[in-house]
Structure formats: C-alpha cells, structure tokens
Structure 1
Amino acid sequence: MALESKGSYKPFDLTDYWSSPNLHPFFIKKEDELIGFALVESATEIEPNAILEFFIVRKYAGKGYGKMAAYEIFTLFPGKWFVTQIEKNYPAQAFWRSTISKFTGGMFSERYDENRKSIQEFDTNLLV
C-alpha cells in the first residue's frame, strides 16, 4: 500500500478480484462500521495462501480486531501460508509475528528475503 503526495492511500486496482477465483477481498467490520480490509490470494498448486494487503484503521488498531480477522482468514483458507511485511514496517512485523505465533502455537518459520522483507510461513494442516 503506498501513500500519495497528499497523504491519502493510492487506490488499488481490484478488477482481478471480481474475476479470479484465487483473489479474495474482505471488509473488516465492527458491528456496522467498516474498520479495515484484507486482500487475500488463496493457494494454487504451486503457491501458498498469502495476505496481499491488510489494514485496520488507527482508531481500532491494537484492540484485537485485526487478530480476530486474521484468524478467520487463516481458518477460511486451510493449508500453507506466506505472510510478508516490508523491511521497516516494525509494527506490522510485530503484529504478524504475534498473531501467527498465537494462531499456530509457535509452529511457524520466519526469514528475511533478499529485499529484507520479513516473511512468516506456516501450514494450518500441521496444527493440532
């Protein structure tokens, strides 16, 4: 997700989300209020499930709504998962590390790629 010069978020091209069976947009709501969104790519024969974008508005950040939404998404798409965060987004890294650790009972791996992205990987099929 990129910010534009005036501080607003650059719009996403969601066209493929309405036609591809592997792309899934989700709104995250608290009662009737929209508090975030998630863009997910479900697994194919060669690629694992992936969180492509995930956002909770600041007012609700740190209150557990993101964690609950992530748990629901992980449950909706069983199997292997791949979650990445950019190098300097330390709050996102901490959120995903904690959320995935609690969801998997610590059964995940973490590494950095050549671009210094933090990557967590796990398989819901291996969880008891």
Structure 2
Amino acid sequence: MQVRAKGEVGLKVSLERVDQEDMVIFRNLYSLYLHDLSRFTENLEIASDGSFQFDGLEVLWDKEGFSPFFIKHSDELIGFLLLLERPLLKKDNDFGINDMFILNKFRGKGFGQQTLERLFMDKPGKYFVIELSENRPAVMFWKKIYRQFHIRFDEREESIDDEPCLVQTFTVGADHPY
C-alpha cells in the first residue's frame, strides 16, 4: 500500500504485512512502543532481559483476525500498526486499530496521518480505537485525525484491564474524501 498526503511532496508511506519470519523485528518495535506507553500506566513492567514484552506475540500469526503491518517510509522501517479484523471481531466493528507506533524521529511529519489515510481507503468499515485516558499525545493525535478527515466519532469512557480508557468508534466509507 502506498499513500502520499495532500501537499506533502515526496513523502511516501507503505504498510507491509509482517510475516512470521519477521517476528523478532516486530517484537523489538513492540518493546519500544510499550516503553513509550509505560509513561502513562503502572501496569507495564520491564522484563529481566531489559525489554518490555508482549506475552503471546505468536498469536498474531496463529489466529485469524490479527493483522500486523510494518509502516515504512520509502524502504525505511518507521513503525508498525496492529489491526484487528473479522473473524476475531465478532460483532459491532469491522476493524480495531489495536496499536500504532511511529519511531520518535519520524513523529510529527505526517506519517501517522498518511498511514491511516491508506488504511481507511483500503479497508472501509466500522472501526474502534482505544486510548489510555492518561495518554494525552494519543488522544490529541486521534482527535486531530478525526478533524482532518472529517470523521464523526462516538466516544465513551471505559475501564479496560483496570485502566481508564477512551473508546472511540467511527465509520469510514470507500467514497470518503480524504
């Protein structure tokens, strides 16, 4: 998948499905993501090997409905997106953006927006996003995305794994003008 944001000459983002043989690379990126997330929660602990770990990472390739993607700029790895899909999601939503991570040096340059623009064009439907309420950067990022893409969303507060969270749901259509 390739996408170029409006007004951004030369910026290209691609989403590339993560194959199981690239699990170590994904695990390393996920550790960086969890490290960033640990700033907003007490529920993440560093492992004895000095990393933050996603227990059961193998399930992403063993169970249908988990779709991990690398986010790349040109051919450089800049982050990942973990999408939940059917049949894993059984009711109200077609997709869930479980996690999205852009490496620090690439943040604030439009890559997150470009990634979501491509995702929404390729996979229209009903989405949900969950953010830790304390994660103000994520909350502000998503509110900016909704404004920029003219997306109407519903939001509710919910406790998930004993964490106060915001759950947002929205629908994007194939004909939505991004």
Scaled by the length of structure 2, what TM-score is found? 0.62
- Gapped runs of 5+ residues in structure 1? none
Q: Please name the residue that 1:108 is paired with.
A: 153
- Partners of 1:92 and 1:68 lie apart in 2 by 16
Contact kept, 8 Å, 2:121 with 2:174, in 1: the verdict is: no
Larger radius of gyration: 2
Identity %: 32
**Length, aligned pairs only:** 127
- Partners of 1:69 and 1:99 lie apart in 2 by 11
Q: Please name the residue that 2:29 is paired with.
A: none
Contact kept, 8 Å, 2:67 with 2:82, in 1: the verdict is: yes
Contact kept, 8 Å, 2:65 with 2:84, in 1: the verdict is: yes
Q: Please name the residue that 2:138 is paired with.
A: 92
Contact kept, 8 Å, 1:42 with 1:77, in 2: the verdict is: no
- Gapped runs of 5+ residues in structure 2? 1-32, 36-45
Q: Please name the residue that 2:34 is paired with.
A: 2
- RMSD of aligned alpha carbons: 2.4
- Partners of 1:91 and 1:7 lie apart in 2 by 25
CA drift at 1:108: 1.4
Matched, 1:58 2:104: yes
- Partners of 2:64 and 2:92 lie apart in 1 by 14
Counterpart amino acid of residue 98 in structure 2: L
- Partners of 2:112 and 2:155 lie apart in 1 by 20
Contact kept, 8 Å, 2:157 with 2:166, in 1: the verdict is: yes
Scaled by the length of structure 1, what TM-score is found? 0.83
Deviations 1:60-90 (A, max 9, x none): 1111001111222223322111001112100
CA drift at 1:117: 0.6
- Partners of 1:60 and 1:94 lie apart in 2 by 17
Contact kept, 8 Å, 2:124 with 2:174, in 1: the verdict is: no
Counterpart amino acid of residue 153 in structure 2: F
Greater CA drift, 5-14 or 20-29: 5-14
Contact kept, 8 Å, 1:29 with 1:36, in 2: the verdict is: yes
Partner of 1:2, secondary structure, is helix
**CA, structure 1 residues 18+37, in 2 after alignment: closer, same or farther (shift >3 Å)?**
same
